[in-house]
């Protein structure tokens, strides 16, 4: 009889998996929703408070009629829509169960213990995890200083280009970056690409690109034709408000796509998600409303926070990084006691900051009222 008490499979995990920790969601959201009901302000996950396009919701309802069928394993209809939308060949697109899956797959398919992967300090948390899961060596490049004029705590692209070694297979960039909200413009990306050898995949994660209105910043999708090593990751989770449906995609050279397709789970996107994303992509008017609301509301929220003495970093996203200049854990817990959920950043090494999503106007007001009550 095997002895269940002595059996411990954690010792059997392979080396890469042994180096990982299970995802920590931070808050018990179901419990918090029960406790605070409609009085909750969910500002911790950069979700889009306006919700998805009504056309996307209708398409998802309709797709439920086929839920007994397997979805299209190629996602051909969504890829065709993306191909038309971005004017790129469908053979250059991979669909993911969220872009998170694609960011993981890139490291899994292109790097192993013989390779290194470059990413930035205070860059998106998935990059070091993807690197570790592939068993590759991480090269974490120090961020720009807090005093930097345009991108405080943002990516130091010169230092990142200099950190690339002969064994580097991937550089992960987030533009704009989560959790800092910082960005770099098209010219900076072009200068970076000119410095990095072509056998290094440069992954530009544009999860927040739809929110951008800074002059000089468009999308890396514009540059793909000239740089076969450029990989652009996008998601429907943020501005398109389909976080719960799990749809991401990347645009890359067809040879990169061919490699990723070997590893992709055949039915990684469900049929409801495929239908919702395709409809969301077609609703330009809804996206325009989302963008306009976000820019207006973020500007207002940053000003209201500033009036109360809370400094925020410049942002081109749907969140603000609040820099308290002192340990932020107490404030985070006090807000939580009032049903206001924001994201603590100690896990990122930014213990003096809190990341606050731009919520609905009511949610944002609940945040400000809670801060006033604590003052």
Ligand X SMILES: *Cc1c(COP(=O)(O)O)cnc(C)c1O
Residue ranges that bind ligand X, judged by CB under 6 A: 46, 98-100, 124, 174, 178, 205, 207, 235, 237-238, 243, 248
Of the pair 86, 124, the CB lying nearest ligand X is at: 124
319-323 and 311-312 strand pairing? antiparallel
- HSE-CB of 308 using CA atoms within 13 angstroms: 19
Phi-psi region of 341 (alpha: psi -120 to 50; beta: other; left: phi over 0): beta
Within 8 A by CB and 6+ apart from 21, the residues are none
Nearest distance from C-beta of residue 248 to ligand X, angstroms: 4
Of the pair 102, 302, the CB lying nearest ligand X is at: 102
Of the pair 174, 305, the CB lying nearest ligand X is at: 174
Of the pair 156, 205, the CB lying nearest ligand X is at: 205
φ, ψ of residue 248 in degrees (nearest 5): -135, 170
Integer-rounded Cα Rg, in Å, for the chain is 21
Orientation of helix 99-110 relative to helix 126-133, angle to 10°: 40
Nearest distance from C-beta of residue 92 to ligand X, angstroms: 19
Of the pair 98, 271, the CB lying nearest ligand X is at: 98
Cα–Cα distance measured from residue 108 to residue 166, given in angstroms and rounded to the nearest whole number:
19
Cα–Cα distance measured from residue 210 to residue 64, given in angstroms and rounded to the nearest whole number:
28
CB closest to ligand X, residue no:
98
Orientation of helix 329-337 relative to helix 361-374, angle to 10°: 110
Nearest distance from C-beta of residue 99 to ligand X, angstroms: 4
Strand order of the sheet with strand 353-357?
Answer: 311-312, 319-323, 353-357, 343-344
Of the pair 44, 248, the CB lying nearest ligand X is at: 248
Nearest distance from C-beta of residue 8 to ligand X, angstroms: 31
Nearest distance from C-beta of residue 3 to ligand X, angstroms: 40
Nearest distance from C-beta of residue 207 to ligand X, angstroms: 4
What is the helix, strand, coil percentage profile of the chain, to 5?
45, 15, 40
Q: How far is CA 328 from CA 32, 184, 347, 353, in A?
A: 20, 27, 12, 6
Nearest distance from C-beta of residue 178 to ligand X, angstroms: 3
Of the pair 25, 197, the CB lying nearest ligand X is at: 25
């Amino acid at each position: 009889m095997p002895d269940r008490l002595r059996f411990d499979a954690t010792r059997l995990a392979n080396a890469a998996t042994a180096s990982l920790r299970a995802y920590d969601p931070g808050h018990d959201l179901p419990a918090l929703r029960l406790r605070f009901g409609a009085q909750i302000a969910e500002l911790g996950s950069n979700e889009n408070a306006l919700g998805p396009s009504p056309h996307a919701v209708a398409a998802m309802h309709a797709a439920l009629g086929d839920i007994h069928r397997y979805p299209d394993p190629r996602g051909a209809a969504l890829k065709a829509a993306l191909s038309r939308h971005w004017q790129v060949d469908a053979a250059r697109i991979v669909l993911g169960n969220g872009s998170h899956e694609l960011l993981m797959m890139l490291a899994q398919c292109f790097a192993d213990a013989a390779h290194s992967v470059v990413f930035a300090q205070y860059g998106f948390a998935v990059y070091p995890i993807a690197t570790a899961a592939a068993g590759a060596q991480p090269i974490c490049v120090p961020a720009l200083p807090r005093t930097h004029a345009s991108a405080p705590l943002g990516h130091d692209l010169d230092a990142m280009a200099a950190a690339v070694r002969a064994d580097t297979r991937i550089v992960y960039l987030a533009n704009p970056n989560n959790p800092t909200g910082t960005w770099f413009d098209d010219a900076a990306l072009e200068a970076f690409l000119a410095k990095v050898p072509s056998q290094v995949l440069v992954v530009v994660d544009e999860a927040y690109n739809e929110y951008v209105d800074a002059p000089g910043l468009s999308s890396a999708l514009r540059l793909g034709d000239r740089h076969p090593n450029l990989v652009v990751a996008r998601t429907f989770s943020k501005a398109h408000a389909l976080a719960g449906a799990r749809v991401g995609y990347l645009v890359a050279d067809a040879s990169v796509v061919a490699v990723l397709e070997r590893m992709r789970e055949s039915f990684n996107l469900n049929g409801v998600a495929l239908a919702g994303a395709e409809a969301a992509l077609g609703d330009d008017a809804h996206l325009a409303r989302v963008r306009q609301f976000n820019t207006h509301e973020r500007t207002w929220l940053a000003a209201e926070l500033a009036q109360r003495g809370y400094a925020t970093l410049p942002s081109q996203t749907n969140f603000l990084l609040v820099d308290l200049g002192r340990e932020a854990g107490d404030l985070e817990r006090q807000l939580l006691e009032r049903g206001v959920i924001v994201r603590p950043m100690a896990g990122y090494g930014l213990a003096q900051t809190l990341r606050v999503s731009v919520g609905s106007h009511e949610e944002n007001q609940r945040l400000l009222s809670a801060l006033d009550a604590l003052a």
